Amino acid sequence: MTDIGIDTQFDSGNIEVLSISGASARLALHKDNQSDFAQWFHFRVHGAADRELELKITGLENSAYPAGWPDYDACVSEDRDFWGRAASTYDKDEDGGTLTIRYTPGTDIAWFAYFAPYSMERHHDLVAESAASEGVEYRRLGQTLDGQPLDCLEMGDGARQVWLYARQHPGESMAEWWMEGALEVLCDPTDTVGRALRKHCRLHVVPNCNPDGSRRGHLRTNAVGTNLNREWAEPSAEASPEVLAIRAAMDESGVDFAMDVHGDEAIAAVFLAGFEGIPSWTDDLGDRFYRYQSILERRTPDFQTAKGYPKSAPGTANLAISTNQVAERYKACAMTLEMPFKDNADWPDEVQGWSPERSKLLARDCLAALLEWIESE
């Protein structure tokens, strides 16, 4: 039998091939450039039709989040449109921690990824289509270190300043699928939730805060290895021009409500993190966040509040994290939305796990919850 072949030279492609024998491959993760984070993978296998592939990604106890691998199934697609899951098992004692993916493609080429990718080409399609919509203004906030544009879409003429931004961590591609769902609501002149939000708010939408990390196939950092969500206290042109540009635009507009969209490697649930522990914490400001959280929990079974991150003790918030900085700096109701790489364990989907489709639907619920939150304030 001939050996399978593996390719990675495309947008967000990333894996190291250690060896190939027949339909089996031994693989390893690449680290993000100039950093120690490794978790994202995206590669193409050919010569695969009707053969059971055995793909072993090794060394994972040294990955960024070893807890992300147990109960995780790799994402797979044969048409790059529908992304399902390939049965995967994790053995922390095999070869430094090994995820074994088994899958038998029906066609000769199959694509595997940590989560359904959201390419920069699709990003440009999203920006172009949104910018061409009635009442939407395009704004280029700045430029990345690789020279890519930092895109922002703005709409609405209400008094409240709403910021939605995603993918500071580029491997969290579900965050841009969420954005696609959100922009479909906000740019559609016939969508009543979008119309009402545009009446109440000025919305600023940054669908991808980290284009360089996205194209390079990074998990967590930009072109020079900076974790952007640790840069919000003192962003710099050298290390974090993305944050510098977004924060400057926020300084101009002010912020009343902000949602920073992410994915979580380990926790099999959708949850929000707030800004407990900021110096300017007040119960009134905190209650605005908790009220949003309870509205969203009532609106969709995909959201819950039992699982999530521990809250910071009073006065101990890390102001380099976006949500804390935005809440502190603008006295805003700010929050971090986390979606799972694995699945929502309360409502599992054996075929797809957490998926692009569910990320987009969640965005609709988040915006409907925002409208209810505003109208009941």
Q: Which residues bind Zn ion (CB under 5 A)?
A: 169, 172, 262
Q: How far is the CB of 267 from Zn ion (least distance, A)?
A: 12
| Cβ–Cβ < 8 Å for 195, 157 | no
The SS3 assignment for 66 reads helix
The SS3 assignment for 79 reads coil
338 carries an active-site annotation: yes
Burial class (CB within 10 angstroms; exposed 0-12, middle 13-18, buried 19+) of 2:
exposed
Nearer to Zn ion, 169 or 288 (CB): 169
HSE, CB side, 13 Å, CA atoms: give it for residue 300.
21
Q: How far is the CB of 192 from Zn ion (least distance, A)?
A: 31
| 268: CB partners within 8 A, 6+ apart | 71, 307, 340, 342, 343, 344, 345
Helix (H) or strand (E) holding 242: helix 241-253
Catalytic residue among 52, 338, 357, 372: 338
Nearer to Zn ion, 42 or 262 (CB): 262
Name residue, tokens 């640790």.
230
Q: How far is the CB of 276 from Zn ion (least distance, A)?
A: 18
Nearer to Zn ion, 139 or 230 (CB): 230
Nearer to Zn ion, 223 or 267 (CB): 267
Q: How far is the CB of 169 from Zn ion (least distance, A)?
A: 3
Q: How far is the CB of 165 from Zn ion (least distance, A)?
A: 12
Nearer to Zn ion, 198 or 262 (CB): 262
Q: At what angle do helices 174-187 and 120-131 cross, to 10 degrees?
A: 10
| Cβ–Cβ < 8 Å for 136, 146 | no
Catalytic residues: 338
